[in-house]
Amino acid sequence: MIRTILWDIDGTLLDFLAAEKAAIRACFAQFGLGDCSDEQIARYSAINQSYWRRLENGKITKAQVLVGRFEEFFAGEGLDPALAVPFNETYQVRLGDTVCFMDRSYELVSRLRGRVRQYAVTNGTRVAQERKLKKSGLGELFDGVFISELVGAEKPSPAFFGYVFDHIGPVEKPEVLMVGDSLTSDMRGGLQAGIPCCWYNPKGLPLPEGMAPDYVIHDLNQVEEILSRS
């Protein structure tokens, strides 16, 4: 029986791409960089994802992600890479200004409150995530929040999940469900930690060879079906 859910935030409970787009455009305006087109945002997003994948694979640090992605993006757009540090600082704040729920996730987490224990587990920065959780109201629904910046380790590392287990325990691992959209951080981390994993795959992407989450869902509300069967 599943008694505890570990929820990813960005791309799972909240629409990260919507927040990303709004934050980038707000920062462009604030820094006097003009309009930021959808094409520019798409180029930034691809760069950003590549940096996060390198972080998840232990090849770079969080600090290198936060600044390096903007340095590379600005250089490619003919903008001053020296803006990367102050731009990122403002961007972290702006990320928390836009809240878009995936699949009415607020109502889902509300319904599950008291039925199972629920925790947020995220690699996002403390500034952005605390603002999102407060503005969305999700923070008040969780039994706890684990932000990698405060944990001192990133998903998918065993150190991150070990820290979580130490602070929510004692728990039986078969009773803990990891729900997230990222195969490289959420699913890999959960599988390495020995807990059931549920891949949130709203776009119906093919499952890569060698990756075998316990569940694959296209709508977050299918989590209730998993709980009813467990």
Q: Is the pLDDT of residue 230 over 80?
A: no
Domain edge (last residue) among 95, 113, 142: 95
Grade residue 210 by pLDDT with cuts at 50, 70 and 90. Answer: confident
CATH (domain of 31): 1.10.150.240
What is the C-alpha separation between 34 and 128, in angstroms, rounded?
24
Report pLDDT for 2.
Answer: 97
**Residue 8 sits in the same domain as residue 52:** no
What is the C-alpha separation between 41 and 179, in angstroms, rounded?
27
What is the C-alpha separation between 208 and 206, in angstroms, rounded?
6
Report pLDDT for 79.
Answer: 96
Domain edge (last residue) among 48, 67, 95: 95
What is the C-alpha separation between 57 and 46, in angstroms, rounded?
17
What is the C-alpha separation between 131 and 149, in angstroms, rounded?
14
For 98-124, how does the pLDDT look when each residue is reduced to its tens digit (9 = 90+)? Answer: 999 999 999 999 999 999 999 999 999
Q: Which residues are part of the catalytic machinery?
A: 8
* Pair of tokens at residue 162: 């070990």
> What's the predicted TM-score (pTM) here?
0.94
For 15-24, how does the pLDDT look when each residue is reduced to its tens digit (9 = 90+)? Answer: 999 999 999 9
> Tokens 């889902």 appear where?
108
Report pLDDT for 180.
Answer: 98
**Residue 41 sits in the same domain as residue 104:** no
Domain edge (last residue) among 63, 95, 127: 95
**Residue 32 sits in the same domain as residue 144:** no
What is the C-alpha separation between 8 and 209, in angstroms, rounded?
23
In the β-sheet with 197-200, what is the strand arrangement from edge to edge?
A: 144-147, 117-122, 4-7, 176-180, 197-200, 215-217
Report pLDDT for 58.
Answer: 87
